[in-house]
Amino acid sequence: SSTSEKKCLARAKKRLIHFIRQVNDLRFVGTTKTAISLFPFFGATLFFPKGWGW
């Protein structure tokens, strides 16, 4: 493939990565509230068994 093709692919890749990051950020903002409300439950199931030696 030519160098111009490679440049085009690299640019497209960068754009795609940027887009995915934006989507992930939006999803993260949306799920943060859910995660905070679920954390006590998950935290209890993950940490207490180890902490109590079960």
**pLDDT, tens digit, 9 for 90 and up, residues 1-54:** 689 888 888 898 898 888 878 877 777 666 666 666 666 666 666 655 555 554
pTM of the full predicted structure? 0.43
Within 8 A by CB and 6+ apart from 1, the residues are: 9
